[in-house]
Chain A
């Protein structure tokens, strides 16, 4: 029983991070009908931006409250910028082209970022590209066990402060997003563009700006998720984005892509299922779980748990 509770805690903590990344996929898919394959890699860039800023500040400064906030803000800013650049130079010129063209471009962007980061490149003592070897993310939040049930040496249930903090931050970010999408002028514009971008343009909505902002918003959420993930996992490497990104995408599809609360439910489900497979089965199967789950969902409910069925009009 205690083991089960522990797995549920771990699963929910992992799931909320997937959820933040999944929201980026869902939002971009909502406005552009494009799977932004590079989204996971944007998250990876966020991790490295956080890593670089924490190192420049020094671990003592970075682990103060202001330091941690600054690390988050810097990585959010870096990712928003990257998201903007990707949209502006890779996706915008192709907006009226067939969807396959955009999909191939997205894969290309993802490849460029993740494998570009595997190169080792430094100019004048300044590391520009970090290289393939994994790095340890500094402990900006000192790990502590907030709740221990059972014998302190061999506890039955452990609730870590990082888990609680990441769940709280994730929930706060999602609530803010929900408010933004359904209660603000920008949200109205975003939903209008998602519905029909040509008509929205006729109604005076600056479509280009809305799409660019959506991209930046999604990337900023990914940055937040990236730093949380790095704090939890403490290990960052250039290819982590692809793995986490694909799983988050699976979560978005399971929940019904384009549906914000659906992404949360899908991500929590995925986090739990993965945790159970690793906990009760074998950790080597972890990577197959997400895809197996995805294939099953797509076969029986292709529109996802909450997605709407849309008939194809000719």
Chain B
């Protein structure tokens, strides 16, 4: 008997021939993204907006691997993003001076873009390993403070290094990020996060989240898995940083403060710690909300001063939102469930196997 899951993706995949199953999502996504890419090429405002959303989705889904699946609490994700943004930005500014002459210009650009993203991600992952190491000894609040401290230290180091342009930042990073490349990385992040969750590794992470001592007693190498989750999350945060650097074309330390880290934490807490689709939905919603509010207020004929106040009120509103979510619905929008676990999408039939962790397990 094949195990029944509630995931529509999994149900579709069960009908696909086995050799194709691994690449099937890509076969669907790549043409789809290409269509979107060409369809939106005439709407620059929409593209810029969607790039911002995409970066936040990558950050939220990757932070969710550490905070949601493994149950650690990292509040320095912007630090990894900064590492990725600066290394990728620096790599591509250096590479863009050379170019691969045997390839057409556009192709050579994309090859170098991929290369610098990979470098950014790899260096960020190395830093993730460094930060993951103290998590062997620290728990909860202490770990949170160390990750926060790491984010701040990265910012101070960048501000004091000439290569990174000190407080002014890195300028003239080539604008290589396109609709397609950004959302392809979003897609990649989501696929990897979901596959980790469904794998043996993912089960070990969930076990650590539910009860670390019990997990260790069951033979889970908790230390190794915690560090791995940090490395994976840092890698994708580095990619997000690279994508960000290549559409902003300016990278300065002001983009990677504690506020950025908190924004991502608010997103995953709102979406439900441990829910990948929750993180995606919350990231899209909370990134678009301020923009939408501003357009609505301006459309209603409110003075631009008031509209600006709305923009400034974003941070205190995040704070209040965080407190209210914790008081009223600590499991967030979806809890640890995914979009398709909601009653709306539930297929009739036997209970799925394996059983989902209990409600609010991430907390």
Contacts and interface: CB of A to CB of B under 8 A. Distances in A.
B327 A291 contact: no
B142 A302 contact: yes
A292 B153 CA distance: 7
A124 interface: no
Given A93-B327, A299-B137, A116 B142 contact: no
Contacts, number: 120
A108 B330 contact: no
Which of A34, A35, A99, A107 counts the most chain B CB atoms within 10 A? A107
Interface string A101-114: 11111011111110
B319 A115 contact: yes
Contacts of A120: 309
B149 interface: yes
Given A288-B157, A291-B149, A302-B142, A116 B326 contact: no
Nearest to B330: A101
Contacts of B323: 90, 105, 108-109, 112
Contacts of B150: 291, 295
B312 A118 contact: yes
A291 B153 contact: yes
Interface in B13-56: none
B157 to A, nearest CB: 7
B137 A284 contact: no
A107 B75 contact: yes
Interface in A267-300: 282, 284-285, 287-288, 290-292, 294-295, 298-299
B156 interface: yes
Contacts of B309: 119-120
Interface in B303-317: 309, 312-313, 315-316
Contacts of A290: 149
B319 A112 contact: yes
Contacts of B163: none
Interface in B289-329: 309, 312-313, 315-316, 318-323, 326-327
B269 interface: yes
B209 to A, nearest CB: 10
Contact of A119 (B149, B269, B316): B316
Contacts of A34: 141
B134 A108 contact: no
A104 B269 contact: yes
A94 B329 CA distance: 12
A152 interface: no
B265 to A, nearest CB: 7
A84 B141 CA distance: 22
B143 to A, nearest CB: 9
A100 B268 CA distance: 14
A103 B144 contact: yes
Interface in A110-135: 110-113, 115-116, 118-120
Contacts of B140: 99-100, 103
A18 interface: no
B134 A295 contact: yes
Interface of B: 71, 73, 75, 134, 137-138, 140-142, 144-146, 148-150, 152-153, 156-157, 159-160, 213, 258, 262, 265, 269, 309, 312-313, 315-316, 318-323, 326-327, 330, 363
Given A105-B322, A109-B319, A312-B213, 18 more contacts: A100-B71, A103-B144, A105-B326, A105-B327, A107-B265, A107-B322, A108-B320, A109-B323, A110-B319, A118-B312, A119-B313, A246-B148, A291-B148, A291-B150, A292-B149, A294-B146, A295-B134, A298-B134
7 contacts: A107-B322, A109-B323, A118-B312, A119-B313, A253-B142, A291-B153, A295-B134
